Structure 1
Amino acid sequence: MMNKPIIALDFPGEQEVFQFLNHFEEKLFVKVGMELFYQEGPDIVRKIKDLGHDIFLDLKLHDIPNTVKSAMKGLARLGVDLVNVHAAGGKQMMEAALEGLEAGSVGKRPLLIAVTQLTSTTEEQMQKEQKIPLTLLESVLHYAQLTKEAGLDGVVCSVHEAKQIAERCGEAFLRVTPGIRLLGGDAHDQKRVATPDFARENGSSYIVVGRAVTKAENVVEAYQEVCRLWEGK
């Protein structure tokens, strides 16, 4: 059975979040990112969990290992289902993140994944601004391999790298792919985008969908269309 699409709750505050969630009778898998978490704090996570939804807490931790370990220990207590760090923080930092999650979890620990390269990053930007003299794919595969060596569950990547990551790191290694749009939709600030059916056919484990659903005229219909394409119906 395919995993549910992860819906990005990129709203400025609690009121907009619950206006959106109230449209749905079913339980969703949602993403709480920096915008919402930094406005509303941990309480927003608890309130969404109380409604029965699964949560990807997308804070992309990147700091010295001890700080990340302590932060993850605290985040684990929120009972979220998926959290992330930046792979650029290094293997030791990722290992520390995993230790913190395991120490803070009551019961099953959240899945832990690492961001390879942001889907807003182009190869030209990476080479010029990060001074990485590789192709974008080579950089992403390197970070994916490092993430696997650190013991994490998978990576955030674009759909266009998911298949190669599965070949390099194995099918069980998660590929969580943002930048998902419906055909004809606006790419907004994403550079490496794809449709749900393209993602399904090209190695994504989970897809993250934002404005294609949250800004739709009918959010339930848009969500159902994403699900239909993702599930291949």
Structure 2
Amino acid sequence: MEKERALIFQGGWPGHRPEEVARMLERWLTDEGMEVEVADTLDCLLDREKLRDTDLVIPNWTMGRIGDEALKNLTEAVERGTGLAGLHGGMGDAFREATEFQYMVGGQFVAHPGGDSVAYRVRIADRSHPITEGLSDFDVVSELYYMHVDPAIRVLAETTAHNGAAMPVAWVKSHGEGRVFYCSLGHTPDVLRIEEVKTMVVRGMKWASRRGKERRG
């Protein structure tokens, strides 16, 4: 059987160490049996047919701008069944002017009160989903993303924001025929190495992949 194919495109604001994170995700997904391509330019989104044949696309591009053709190709691919998955600013704060992208993701970064050293507890909100099944609540010290979110998302993990509101940390949703997974953690690579975070991210990316539909969940 042909391997699942994943495309990671990395770049944008360098503070999130996009290349290091992309290579980390590449290793993890390769270990799961995927064939992974890492692109350093948004030109990879100009090949419409290739995107449609890709099982999973992982944006890892904080801020920046995306061209109309690239955005159209990406959204159409997801609508046709290509999976979309990502984390932190690489997907939740990418392309601030592209509201169509934000709609597809299901949320958009607004602020991170307290900076990058906020101690908070991540609660597993949905223990019945295959991404979070068996995971326990855990603590992190990092940025706490305050986000505007789509009410249609299915929240998998959450925390308590500075104003006392429940704030989603990880979620899934559908966009056309495609599955979408997002996790707001990942300000530094060390956060991604936390066992619960790594498990949730790897499971989420496998779930979002086009072939994830063939597996349980």
TM-score exceeds 0.5:
no
Shorter-normalised TM range? 0.3 to 0.5
For the pair shown, the structure with the greater C-alpha radius of gyration is 1
What's the TM-score once normalised by structure 1's chain length? 0.36
Point out the structure with the larger strand share. Answer: 2
Higher helix share: 1
